[in-house]
Amino acid sequence: MKFGPIAAACLSLALSSVAFAQTTMKISISTAQNSHQGVAIDTFAKEVEKRTGGRYKVQTFYNGALGGERESIEAVQLGTQELAFSSTGPVPNFVPETKILDVPFLFRDKAHARAVLDGPIGQEMLTKFDAKGFKALAWAENGFRHMTNSKRDVKVPEDLKGLKMRTMENPVHIAAYKGFGIITTPMAFPEVFTALQQGTVDGQENPLPVIISAKFDQVQKHLSLTGHVYSPCIFLMNKASFDKLSAADKTAFLEAAKEGTKANRARVDEDDAKGVADLRAKGVTVIDNVDKAKFVAALAPVNAQFEKEFGKANLDKIRDYK
């Protein structure tokens, strides 16, 4: 059977498009592209494309363009979105086992937190996502959370009493902040700047990289380096979408997430190193000599509750991890 030149050209085009069939997937974050989370998903997208020879392309969305973190995680669970990168704020609503990571003053520093997440404790926790419709690709990082507000300097826990603070939609955070006497107001991240600007809330708490990229210095003049909670981030993929991949492509996605994590953590370190000076230059009063022991002591009743809920042995296993 002979093909004319036009039919032959069409056939070769059809064959070449089969050879280069590209699957596009979406990934989203709630923060700006120029942030530690933006670096994470941009690196991930580039690595996926490179490692799969361009057969998979990851489209990146920033600033809550596809909804807040909770909506994005729901979309991944439902399969209406393939991927999301989120702080662990809303994650316990889907995978309750992750709640333990949000206990205040659980981690000594970033090196300790990273060692826990990259080691057996964190890796075992990633497997808990499978039963809920997710494939958790890798832990990444938001950083240690600090408090900002528009009312006053916060040096000791008593200074927090009566402040109306936006919190994440996270039961552990809410219980802890109530322990400080804070009036907690859970809300999705994309709504926070406006809420601060309009005075709906007095303050919020987030790691320095988030405070900087969200330009909270425009609406908050007091920052206290409380470092009260370590906030991980996570690369999540729809389980069915992951299961459809070939073995080689599964490895490609997992390795791409690892590279994204490396870039993300490096950016957190950079933001942490220069963030305080940047914010001071923008007129923010920074309290960097917070008496942590007083904050820990103020949470004693709440911590007793956490020990009941999570088991003291489980908390100590994380606290003592070397």
Q: Is the pLDDT of residue 163 over 90?
A: yes
Give CATH for domain 20-319: 3.40.190.170
pTM: 0.89
Higher pLDDT, 75 or 5: 75
Q: In this structure, are residues 18 and 48 in contact, taking their beta carbons and an 8 Å threshold?
A: no
Segment 125-135, tens digit of pLDDT: 999 999 999 99
Cα separation, 317 vs 115, whole angstroms: 12
pLDDT, average across residues 106-135: 97
Contacts of 86 (CB under 8 A, 6+ apart): 29, 30, 69, 72, 73, 233, 234, 236
* Span 145-152, average pLDDT: 97
Please state, rounded to an integer, the average pLDDT across all residues of the chain: 93
Which of 2-6, 39-43, 124-128 has the weakest average pLDDT?
2-6
Distance in angstroms (rounded) separating the CA atoms of residues 82 and 27? 7
Phi, psi (deg, nearest 5) at residue 311:
90, 125
Residue 7 has pLDDT above 90, yes or no: no
Q: Tell me which residue of 262, 195, 188, 141 sits closest to 30, measured CA to CA.
A: 188
pLDDT band with cut points at 50, 70 and 90 for residue 170: confident
Looking at residue 19, its pLDDT comes to 52
| Per-residue pLDDT tens over the stretch 213-267 | 999 999 999 999 999 999 999 999 999 999 999 999 999 999 999 999 999 999 9
Q: Of 158, 151, 155, whose CA–CA distance to 181 is shortest?
A: 158
The ranges assigned to domains in the chain are: 20-319
Split at pLDDT 50, 70, 90, the class of 287 is very high
Amino acid 20: pLDDT = 61
What's the average model confidence in pLDDT over 51-55? 97
pLDDT at residue 168 in the model: 87
Of the pLDDT bands very low, low, confident and very high (cuts 50, 70, 90), residue 8 is low
Q: Would the pLDDT of 121 be above 60?
A: yes
The yes-or-no verdict on residue 14 having pLDDT over 60 is no
Q: What's the pLDDT tens digit per position in 75-86?
A: 999 999 999 999
